[in-house]
Amino acid sequence: MMLIRSLKWFLLWWMILQIIFEVVKSQVKSLQPQERISHTATYINNKLYILGGESITTNPTTNEIALKEFFYLDCSKSFDTTNLSWEFLSNIQVPTRWSAASAKGGINNDTIFIYGGFSNDENDLNLVYTYNTKSDTWIIPKILNNFNITSKKNLEAIINYNDGKIYLFGGTSDELGISNDMVILDTINLVYNIGNLTNAPTPRFYYGATLCGNDGKEALDLDVVYSYDTINNIWNTNKVTGLIPSKRYLFSTVLGSDGRGIIIFGGFNVVNTDSLYILDTINLEWYVPNVTGQLPANRYNHKANVIGNFMVVSFGYGYQQEKESDILLLNMTNEKYEWSIVFKPLNDTLPLPSTSISLPPTMTQTSSPTISSEPQSNISSTTIKPIIIAGVLVGILFIILGYLFL
C-alpha cells in the first residue's frame, strides 16, 4: 500500500515538473524574435531598436508577427549573444514596414525616423513615421514637401549629425522604378530637399554606403565608389585599388570605429570566407583584414551598426537560428578584428548634448498610431498565453490526481 502511494506521489511531482518545464520553455520561445530580413535597426541612447521586416518563412501568420514586432537590445551593459535578452515593445501599435530606411535624428538625436518601405496596409500612404524614445510614442510628422517626394523602398538612410539631415539615395518606387536621385530629409526643420544629380551614380538599389549594389540587372562592381559632398552638394567618382571584393548586393556597410575604414559584410551569393572587406578611405584601397574568432555564416539582407568598438550585425538570410545567434559581433578594438560572442560597452560613452534649437512650427503630427499614458510592458501578449494555458492544465491535473487519491 505504501509503495502504491509513493508511486502516486512520484507521478504527481513528475507531471508537475514537466508542466513547469514546458511553461518555461514556451515563455523563452515567445520572447525569441522571429527570424527576419529587410528590417530596420537603429541605435539610440545605448539601445538597438529593431522594427518589422519580413519573416524568412512563407507562413503568413509568422510574417504578420515579424511585421508587428518592435523590440530593442540593451547595449548599456555587457551581454552574451548565446543568451540575448530582448525587450519587446510590440504591445504598442507600430507601423508595419519592411525594406524601409531608418536613422536617428531630431533636435536631440533621440528620435527614430522611418522612411518609405512596403506596408501590408494599402491605406497607409505615409512617407515617414517617427518614434520618440523618451515618450515611447509613434507619430506621423508633418513635413514640408515642395518636391513631390514619393515613398521609396530598398534604400539606405545616412544621417549627418552636424545638421540633422538624412540622405536617401536611389531605391525603388512604383512611380519612378529604380532611381538615382538623392532625397534629403531635414529632421530638425522637417523639410524635404533634393540633392544634386550631376555626376550621380546610375540608378540602383540594395546598395551600401559606398553606393555599389544592384542596378536591376546584376550586381555591380566594387572597383568604383561614389561619394557625395554634403557641404558643396556634389558627387565625386573614385577609382579604387587593392583586393577588390567580388560583385555583391544586399550587404551591409559601416564606417569602422577608427573613422577611416569602410567595412562591408556579407551579400547575396557570397561565401563566408569572402564576406568581410575594408576600404581604406585615405588610400582608396580595399583589403581583407586579419580576423580571429569563430567565422560566422555569410548573411545577406541583414543590418549592421557600429556600437562602441563593435560592429553589430542583426538577423538576415544565411544562418540557422538554432545554430547561430541573431546577433553577430565583430570586435574592432585597436583595429584588431575578432568575431566574438561577448559585447562590452565603452566605459567613456557620454550622452549627446542637448541643443537650444527651438521646434519649428511644422513639427506637428497629422495623426498618431498610439498615444498612451500607460506604462509599457516588456513582455509581448504572446507570452501571457502559455501562462494561462499552463495554469488551466495544472488545475486539470490536480483534479485528476485528486480522484486518484480518493
Q: How do residues 61-86 score in pLDDT, each as one tens digit?
A: 778 888 889 999 999 999 999 999 99
The one-digit pLDDT tens for each residue of the chain (406 residues) are 666 666 666 666 667 766 655 544 444 444 789 899 999 999 999 999 999 999 988 777 778 888 889 999 999 999 999 999 999 996 678 899 999 999 999 999 999 999 999 998 888 889 999 999 999 999 999 999 989 999 999 999 999 989 999 999 999 998 889 999 999 999 999 999 999 999 999 999 888 765 455 666 667 789 999 999 999 999 999 999 999 999 999 999 999 988 999 999 999 989 999 999 999 999 999 999 999 999 999 999 999 999 999 999 999 999 999 899 999 999 999 989 999 999 999 874 444 333 322 223 333 333 333 323 233 333 333 333 443 344 444 444 444 444 444 5
pLDDT tens for 142-193 read: 999 989 999 999 999 999 989 999 999 999 998 889 999 999 999 999 999 9
Q: Which residues contact 279 (CB under 8 A, 6 or more apart)?
A: 210, 225, 240, 261, 262, 264, 285, 286
Strands 291-292, 337-340: parallel, antiparallel or unpaired by DSSP?
Answer: parallel
Q: What is the pLDDT of residue 63?
A: 80
Q: What is the pLDDT of residue 20?
A: 57
CA dihedral for 14, 16, 22, 28, sign (positive or negative): negative
- Give pTM, 2 decimals: 0.79
Q: What is the pLDDT of residue 101?
A: 97
Q: What is the pLDDT of residue 313?
A: 98
Mapping DSSP onto H, E and C, the string for 319-355 reads CCCCCCCCEEEEECHHHCEEEECEECCCCCCCCCCCC
Domains (ranges, CATH) in the chain?
34-347 (2.120.10.80)
Helices 381-404 and 2-30, packing angle to 10 deg: 170
Q: What is the pLDDT of residue 10?
A: 63
Mapping DSSP onto H, E and C, the string for the chain reads CHHHHHHHHHHHHHHHHHHHHHHHHHHHHHCCCCCEECCEEEEECCEEEEECCEECCCCHHHHHHHHHCEEEEECCCCEEHHHCCEEECCCCCCCCCECCEEEEECCCCCEEEEECCECCCCCCCCCEEEEECCCCEEEEECCECCCCCCCCECCCEEEECCCCEEEEECCEECCCEECCCEEEEECCCCEEEECCCCCCCCCCECCCCCCCCECCCCECCCCEEEEEECCCCEEEEEECEECCCCCCCCCEEEECCCCCEEEEECCCCCCHHHCEEEEECCCCEEECCCEECCCCCCCECCEEEEECCEEEEECCECCCCCCCCCEEEEECHHHCEEEECEECCCCCCCCCCCCCCCCCCCCCEEEEEECCCCCCCCCCHHHHHHHHHHHHHHHHHHHHHHHHCC
